[in-house]
Chain A
């Protein structure tokens, strides 16, 4: 298992030790995983379907409770700290229709800040900022069912941003998006200063946005390290039902072709 060498304990956003989760039907979604994430890191969790990626995100936000130890910003994830953790962690679900349940975008984005007990003026300010941040100014009075899928996905991100969380968990943020909305999400992740943990099958997006990658397979952490190293390790990826990001496939093929050519030339010279 590959790890980062040292961690600054004071700046730990997520601290997990022997984290496990079993669904009521007996499926072991997570089997004793341990990892840490520091403030400001952007981490992509990748793996085949059913590896436990989405389950991990729900554990981080306290939606589900697993076994083992889990701390978010030093708070153990339990019932007592539920409210504090909800203010610190925002989760963006894969399907935006699960997250947009109010009649208008304004009300959806205002939902979180209102529950935080903010005044109407503060709520309006937060909503305006969140929408402006994501290029959705003017969408306040629109109903989510009148928006395209991409717009709904971005609006669902706005609903979380309005709460100004310190940790943002995103489940497949670019899935089913057209190129333009995908690019918007990528640019936002690149610009944002919050700590981000995201699950994805879009390895090119992970390469562009995240410093670190965790490979999860059958509920276990197989690899944890810098994106540039892990996403170039073809053998490791293929062993875990993944493949090289598309943007690297061509360049790696070229590099290998070049290496083979040099080797042949070397062999000819030797002869």
Chain B
């Protein structure tokens, strides 16, 4: 089965698509680090910094709605981690009432700060992953001395997640072909059994994959070939990015 939903925006000709994956990875990590270190009382920097992912998204040529739809899927997680913060005071703070709820300014500030930082960080990550082929992203990450074992695990995860999806689809097809009507708890039992079978099949597959790796000389050490080529435009983009990142702190 073909699974294009992970990859269909990754091949493009925009400046963002063509940028070296090392550059994009550096941009993402440094942007997130800058967001993290901005203190609570320095909110004025967020507005200029928020232009960075917006400009990159617009330059990529990919529909803004695509980024927003991905953000919308992840945002609930951010919200649920932070939604209780406005209800907790700090140090004898008098709160304000809104209907039946009592909010505290400090909690609300923390809620907004974490949400804004998280949304911007996630937005930047989405741009990176949407415009970079996964294998090239892994090669870029490898250059930053991220342990090879982690790169290998990510690479396997990416490769086999599609097989897992295929396996689940086939199991569901078989289930639906024989399903008439079952009580809820029986269905739950069948579902649990399917998970168990899936786990066993995945385990057996991992054994066979290891045998295939062993047969091709794998001895625990991981070797790769890098075909990344740093270009002049990547240097220019890097310089531009650093300037845009630092400028708010110099001007404001």
Task: Tell me which residues across on chain A come within 8 A of B212, comparing CB atoms.
Answer: 91, 93, 98-99, 101
CB nearest to B205 among chain A residues: A98
A85-110 interface with B by 8 A CB criterion: 86-87, 89-91, 93, 95, 97-104, 107, 110
A103 and B208 contact, Cβ closer than 8 Å, known pairs A63-B214, A145-B162, A163-B217: no
Q: Is A86 touching B225 in the complex (CB atoms < 8 A)?
A: no
CB nearest to A120 among chain B residues: B225
Residue of A95, A97, A103 with highest tally of chain B CB at under 10 A? A103
Q: Is A86 touching B216 in the complex (CB atoms < 8 A)?
A: yes
A103 and B216 contact, Cβ closer than 8 Å, known pairs A58-B211, A145-B2, A145-B162: no
How many angstroms from the CA of A58 to the CA of B213 in the assembled complex? Answer: 13
B150-168 interface with A by 8 A CB criterion: 155-156, 158-160, 162-163
Q: Is A104 touching B205 in the complex (CB atoms < 8 A)?
A: no
Task: Tell me which residues across on chain B come within 8 A of A86, comparing CB atoms.
Answer: 214-217
Task: Tell me which residues across on chain B come within 8 A of A99, comparing CB atoms.
Answer: 209, 212
How many angstroms from the CA of A138 to the CA of B212 in the assembled complex? Answer: 24
Q: Is A145 touching B224 in the complex (CB atoms < 8 A)?
A: no
Which of A13-21, A70-78, A111-119, A172-180 is the interface stretch? Answer: A111-119
Task: Tell me which residues across on chain B come within 8 A of A104, comparing CB atoms.
Answer: 135
Q: 1/0 per position for A51-78, CB-CB distance to B under 8 A?
A: 0000000100101000000000000000
Q: Is A103 touching B163 in the complex (CB atoms < 8 A)?
A: no
Task: Tell me which residues across on chain A come within 8 A of B156, comparing CB atoms.
Answer: 101
CB distance from B70 to the nearest CB of A (A): 21
Task: Tell me which residues across on chain B come within 8 A of A163, comparing CB atoms.
Answer: 216-217
How many angstroms from the CA of A141 to the CA of B72 in the assembled complex? Answer: 31
B199-230 interface with A by 8 A CB criterion: 205, 208-209, 211-219, 223-225
CB distance from A7 to the nearest CB of B (A): 27
Q: Is B215 touching A61 in the complex (CB atoms < 8 A)?
A: yes
Q: Is A63 touching B216 in the complex (CB atoms < 8 A)?
A: no
Task: Tell me which residues across on chain A come within 8 A of B134, comparing CB atoms.
Answer: 103
Task: Tell me which residues across on chain B come within 8 A of A145, comparing CB atoms.
Answer: 2-3, 159, 162-163
How many angstroms from the CA of A102 to the CA of B134 in the assembled complex? Answer: 11
Q: Is A97 touching B216 in the complex (CB atoms < 8 A)?
A: no
Asked if B127 is an interface residue, CB under 8 A from chain A, the answer is no
CB nearest to A110 among chain B residues: B225
Q: Is B225 touching A115 in the complex (CB atoms < 8 A)?
A: no
Q: Is B159 touching A115 in the complex (CB atoms < 8 A)?
A: no
Q: Is A144 touching B215 in the complex (CB atoms < 8 A)?
A: no
Q: 1/0 per position for A106-148, CB-CB distance to B under 8 A?
A: 0100111011100010011000000000000000010111100
What 8 pairs across the A-B complex have the smallest Cβ distances?
Answer: A103-B135, A115-B217, A112-B216, A114-B223, A98-B208, A145-B162, A99-B212, A63-B211
Interface set of A (CB-CB < 8 Å, partner B):
58, 61, 63, 83, 86-87, 89-91, 93, 95, 97-104, 107, 110-112, 114-116, 120, 123-124, 141, 143-146, 159-160, 163
CB<8 Å pairs between A and B, sample of 13: A98-B211, A101-B159, A101-B160, A102-B155, A103-B135, A107-B224, A107-B225, A111-B213, A120-B225, A123-B225, A141-B133, A143-B135, A143-B159
Q: A99-B209, A102-B159, A145-B162 are in contact. List 17 more A-B contacts (CB 8 A).
A: A83-B217, A86-B217, A91-B212, A93-B208, A93-B211, A98-B205, A98-B208, A101-B160, A101-B209, A103-B138, A111-B216, A111-B218, A112-B216, A116-B217, A124-B225, A146-B2, A160-B216
